Amino acid sequence: MTWSKLDTYLFPLSLSTEAASGTFEMDVASGQMQWSRGLFAIHGLGQGEVVPTFELLMAHKHPQDRGPVRAAWLNLMEAGGHGALLHRVIDTRGKERRVFSAIHAQADPSGHVNCIRGFMVDVTQSLRIESQAAASEAIEGAYAHKAVIEQAKGIVMALRGVDAECAFKILADHSQHTNTKLHGVAGELAKAAAAGKAREALESFR
């Protein structure tokens, strides 16, 4: 089977980036496989550099993932059907890649599986981008919370005539008493101050 057409499928991560992907086919009886150029690349190999087999495929799985992935494949070999796996691959350079595999085990009329086909997509960069975005959002949120808390501390200091440490304790005590997050308490006080009602709001604090 020629995989060149299938191997042109693209999995865009962004306007300027695409995920590496590849296709495979395995003869169940022999364990011999055919890999597209993209699948060789995911494993850090050039096309035709090695003869791909099921055991070679398993050897490149992350040690912690190898057992579950092998079990999933063996189940498909025995029963047929479709499978989808998110796991890790270690390429020839020792680089860890996170990949998604879709597998189809085709059974003949007698229920015997002769051939398995599927594709693999390297989602490492996609997950990294998502993680970086989540981290950035958390950091931005932390700075935003810090800013509003500092603003609320200033309001308490001005209205109660206390120092920064005491002002923070007043905010923290009210947060605990009302079971409200500290930045929520600070935000409400800042909002009240913007409306000219900071003194009234502060009167409700313990």
Domain extents in the chain = 6-122, 135-203
Residues 107-135: what's their mean pLDDT? 80
119 touches 12 (CB < 8 A):
no
User: Which pLDDT belongs to residue 182?
Assistant: 84
Please name the CATH architecture into which domain 6-122 falls: 2-Layer Sandwich (3.30)
Equal fold, 6-122 vs 135-203: no
Distance (Å, rounded) from C-alpha 162 to C-alpha 205? Answer: 14
Residues 101-105: what's their mean pLDDT? 90
Confidence band for 143, pLDDT divided at 50, 70 and 90: low
User: Which pLDDT belongs to residue 201?
Assistant: 86
pTM above 0.75, yes or no: no
Give the pLDDT confidence of 151-196 residue by residue, as tens digits: 888 888 888 888 888 888 888 888 888 888 888 888 888 888 888 8
The top-level CATH class assigned to 135-203 is mainly alpha
Count of residues making up the chain? 206
CB atoms within 10 A of CB 43: 23
For residues 11 and 130, the model is more confident at 130
